[in-house]
Structure 1
Amino acid sequence: MRRRLFVLGAALITFVASILLVVRPASAAVGLHISGTDIVEANGQPFIMRGVNHPHVWYTGETDSFADIKALGANTVRVVLGSGQRWGPSNDVADVIDLCKRNRMICVLEVHDTTGYGEEGAAASLDQAVDYWISQKSALVGEENYVVINIGNEPIGNVDAGQWTAATVDAIGRMRANGFEHLLMVDAPNWGQDWQNVMRADAQTVLDADSHGNTVLSIHMYAVYSSASSIVSYLDDFEANGWPLVIGEFGWQFNSGEVDHDTILAEAQARGLGYLGWSWSGNTDPILDMVLNFDPNQMTTWGERIFNGPNGISSTSQEASIFGGTPPTTAPPTTAPPTTAPPTTAPPGGGACTASYRVVGQWPGGFQGDVRVTAGSSAISGWVVTWSFADGQTVNQAWNATVTNSGSNVTARNVSYNGSLGAGAGTTFGFIGSWNGTNSVPTLTCAAA
């Protein structure tokens, strides 16, 4: 009997030991890791991402951007890398991590070559993305406190989006089998937008595939999320199921039917979700640039909103505790960018209101314009701005105003939230226009409405 008890006891000890070897206790977490639905640091301090995407692989010389992004208050930067299948290869990972650390930001590193796989013929597979991470392992090991590995950007397109589940499970398994201890981030299919709800349906399967329990899911919110209800419904489902989530990319509502960025920012703040806006600068379509020409003194309307608007980065970002100390939530920029750049032409004086016009950015055939409306010595409850283009320019889309064209004549009226201006107060609206040959600055007239 005693022998049987001894044998049973020995077997029990062996069984428990095997469990301890397989199950990774939360206290043994390395660096940034998942606790429930939250991202926390190694010391257990919660960390909520507040940052932007930086297109490093296409602009490797723009290294000052890291300091500029930090100066506006970001605590995280998502850095675009290339595996060599389409872009790169990015063999400067160690330098990128050093730039993040020197500027006291958490580094989310992503392989962009996987974008739209299955629909985009040149795209790399998630398996190829893992090959790239393995090739860069020496630069990544030991950086678990500072680095999140986003295995592949928008890894499946709209063709056979269901393949995402198995491909993601395999990628996570390979990363762990090859010794990566980092917090892993995985993007949704459907070019990141998950409009077929594959990630929404299979989130638990993917999370369970991580032997370390250290994966966060990432949704990219663009035009599919043009209404508050679509955003809230999606986020509600993840919250109800206890699935960790970040908003890894999103744009802004520069036109009717585009992404409802105000709801994204408000919901992320209310729920404690991280967000990373797209993108700092250098877009082919500069409407998505936060600053033009990588110059923080040329901040766009989108930049103003994500950095300085309600629920924006400057008012909600908290630096990761790994950097030590308790610096201010928003570090002052080296050179403070003006809220409104000086107008190209001086506005006329007098009247109920004045308006000034400037060309924010220009490219072959197109440009971005910005108009500042300022009330006169008395408050106004509405405004209308008119002008005539002298060189055949047209306004194609606008934000913060209702703009109509009639030949060369343009009329811009306030929208519901920016018509009432106190004495001397101002507001700004912007637009994307077309031009050919000459893009002269028109004379504006402003009247109360």
Structure 2
Amino acid sequence: MRTARRTAKSTTTVILTVLSTLLGFLALGGLAPAQAASAAGTGLHISDGRLVEGNGNDFIMRGVNHAHAWYPGETQSLADIKATGANTVRVVLSDGYRWSRNSPEDVAAVIDQCKANRLICVLEVHDTTGYGEDSAAGTLDHAADYWISLKDVLDGQEDYVVIDIGNEPWGNTDPAGWTAPTTAAIQKLRAAGFAHTIMIDAPNWGQDWEGVMRDNAQALYDADSTGNLLFSIHMYSVYDTAQKVTDYLNTFVDAGLPLVIGEFGGPADQYGDPDEDTMMADAEQLGLGWIAWSWSGNTDPVLDLAIDFDPARLSSWGERVFHGADGIAQTSHEATVFGGASDDTEAPTAPGTPTASAVTDTSVSLTWAASSDNVAVAGYDVVRVNGATETTVASSAGTTVTVPGLTAGTAYSFAVYARDAAGNRSARSAAVSVTTDEGSTAPAGGCAVGYDVVGEWQGGFQGEITISNTGTTAIDGWTLGFAFADGQTVTNMWGGTPAQSGGSVTVVPASYTSAIAANGSVTVGFTGSQNGTNTAPAAFTLNGAACTVA
């Protein structure tokens, strides 16, 4: 969760804790490391440092966190998350220590909803967050007892469920103290007969910036009698450079230990600016899973992927996670346990080069030669190509589609991907260039801009700008202009790139915010500096035209 960004309060040695853990494990008669590593798994399990399904196929999580414990009425969210292409959802639960306890009936219903939506379900107890530093947090032992109380619900769900014992179960106070209770909780669940893959979150509010989980990972893994232990790192502002991200992930990969990025954020805040691009790119290169925080309902809405639980209102962070480079649309593959053609591992052939017809000032029809696949082609995705970036503009079950919302007299380049039922995507077709008609009249236009300060602190603040297209044709590319009256300065921005001279600010879009559909909107977030007076801009322009202030 967002509170993972904390600063250090104390640092202690981990040597005595590690020795104590190992001695305690040997006293319990645990397996030797080689035995643990070779233990057979039931359902989702660990093999050779990888999370695999019961049939031995790799399963790489591409998912979203969902705060079910706090928003139990948002039952549509799992279907909406699945519609983005995600293959995993990490579900926030409460063991009753800090929030209202999720009953066995409720947890069973969540699992059923995950399965109905063909999502792997990671269940986590959130009450443990920040133990040792947050006085309201519960213990891992209490969380383990909660899981044991749910054993009748969880038995038989090993193909579909991963148990995350406790969210961020240790703060920054004496993080070495995390190791022994983590080991004890793992062994308590195994002694109770759980065969599921167990996920464990790192100390330091999940970010492990002092390396306690990293340095004790092998001992913890060896202490699990099944060998089905998955480590989870939460990457927020501590991981603000590519080197930090790459070094941490590769430490586990090089050691042959299984790791997932169980939470991560991209937007900057007063603590720093996470390098989400490297997180996602490295995870794809290394074959590691990730689960973005979070679907909706954050008290700090900068981390909402969908605004107000509305899948049609993705934030700039949501656009990045779902449609950006190495995002869910590009890299997610459904678990094979759900049957159908999802055990297919062969991608379709590339479609033929599209041809354009019925070109107007606002749309174009495209047709292409069909792909072939060893099972079946499920559909096609049409992308607009702009240099090295791509934007999905339409999808079709057949080989023809009309792309709407274009700007008159503008050159476009379109290409096509094929996909099968398993989520495999073909190579991209060759691209076709199209220039829309000028049209007989200038397209109707109009814009409205909303400006909100969503958080303030001494010397700084966080803002959000929503740009709405109130016209009847799409906006493809824009420049936003406004001015600060009190000496404010933009220090970082996501969803756009700022330039500032004195109080005057101009913003050009990121690739995933450049197109604004008719009656649609995009959101740009930023952090800034301020000296105590923080008056909102009084006027905005878009491409030189004045906008209504919403």
For the criterion TM > 0.5, the same-fold answer is yes
Q: Secondary structure at the match of 2:96?
A: coil
Whether 1:359 aligns to 2:359 is: no
Q: Counterpart of 1:56?
A: 68
Q: Deviations over 1:77-134 (max 9, x none)?
A: 0000001111121111101100100000000000000000000001011111101111
Q: Secondary structure at the match of 2:86?
A: coil
Q: Secondary structure at the match of 1:56?
A: coil
Whether 1:98 aligns to 2:112 is: yes
Whether 1:402 aligns to 2:495 is: no
The 8 Å contact of residues 94 and 126 in structure 2, kept in 1 or not, is answered as yes
The equivalences for 1:106-255 within 5 A come to 106-254=120-268
Structure 2 distance, partners of 1:186, 1:216, is: 6
Q: Deviations over 1:301-331 (max 9, x none)?
A: 0100100101001111111111001258999
Structure 1 distance, partners of 2:212, 2:58, is: 28
Q: Counterpart of 1:11?
A: none
Q: Counterpart of 1:294?
A: 309
Letter in 2 for 1:290: L
Q: Counterpart of 2:365?
A: none
Q: Secondary structure at the match of 1:58?
A: coil
Whether 1:369 aligns to 2:383 is: no
- 1:147 to partner: Cα distance: 0.2
Letter in 2 for 1:136: L
- 1:446 to partner: Cα distance: 3.4
Q: Counterpart of 1:387?
A: 482
Whether 1:411 aligns to 2:505 is: yes
Q: Deviations over 1:175-228 (max 9, x none)?
A: 000111100000000000000000110000110110000001000000000100
- Structure 2 unmatched runs, 5+: 1-29, 343-376, 382-391, 395-404, 406-440, 457-461, 470-475, 516-520, 545-550
Whether 1:40 aligns to 2:52 is: yes
* Cα 1:363–1:223 shift into 2, 3 Å: closer
- 1:370 to partner: Cα distance: 3.2
- 1:359 to partner: Cα distance: 3.4
Structure 1 distance, partners of 2:201, 2:267, is: 22
| Structure with the higher helix share, 1 or 2 | 1
Q: Secondary structure at the match of 2:92?
A: strand
Greater Cα offset, 243-252 or 233-242: 233-242
| Structure with the higher strand share, 1 or 2 | 2
* Cα 1:225–1:367 shift into 2, 3 Å: closer
Letter in 2 for 1:221: M
RMSD of aligned alpha carbons: 4.0
The 8 Å contact of residues 238 and 244 in structure 1, kept in 2 or not, is answered as yes
* Cα 1:364–1:152 shift into 2, 3 Å: closer
* Cα 1:396–1:286 shift into 2, 3 Å: farther
Equivalent residue pairs, number: 397
Letter in 2 for 1:312: G
Q: Counterpart of 1:273?
A: 288
- Structure 1 unmatched runs, 5+: 1-17, 343-349, 374-379
Structure 2 distance, partners of 1:27, 1:128, is: 28
Q: Secondary structure at the match of 1:444?
A: strand
Q: Deviations over 1:384-405 (max 9, x none)?
A: 6322589999978632222548
* Cα 1:199–1:363 shift into 2, 3 Å: closer
Q: Secondary structure at the match of 2:95?
A: coil
Letter in 1 for 2:191: A
Highest relative contact order (Cα 8 Å, sep 6+), 1 or 2?
1
The 8 Å contact of residues 395 and 405 in structure 1, kept in 2 or not, is answered as no
Q: Secondary structure at the match of 1:117?
A: coil
The 8 Å contact of residues 221 and 259 in structure 1, kept in 2 or not, is answered as yes
Q: Counterpart of 1:346?
A: none
Letter in 2 for 1:412: T
Whether 1:74 aligns to 2:90 is: no
Letter in 2 for 1:289: D
Structure 2 distance, partners of 1:412, 1:72, is: 32
Structure 1 distance, partners of 2:129, 2:37, is: 34
Structure 2 distance, partners of 1:117, 1:331, is: 48
* Cα 1:404–1:277 shift into 2, 3 Å: same
Whether 1:444 aligns to 2:458 is: no
Structure 2 distance, partners of 1:362, 1:297, is: 23
Q: Secondary structure at the match of 1:401?
A: strand
Structure 2 distance, partners of 1:192, 1:364, is: 23
* Cα 1:385–1:368 shift into 2, 3 Å: closer
Whether 1:263 aligns to 2:275 is: no
- 1:431 to partner: Cα distance: 2.5
- 1:29 to partner: Cα distance: 1.9
Q: Secondary structure at the match of 1:237?
A: helix
* Cα 1:245–1:433 shift into 2, 3 Å: closer
Task: Tell me the TM-score normalized by structure 2.
Answer: 0.64
Letter in 1 for 2:294: S
Structure 2 distance, partners of 1:27, 1:412, is: 59
Q: Counterpart of 1:6?
A: none
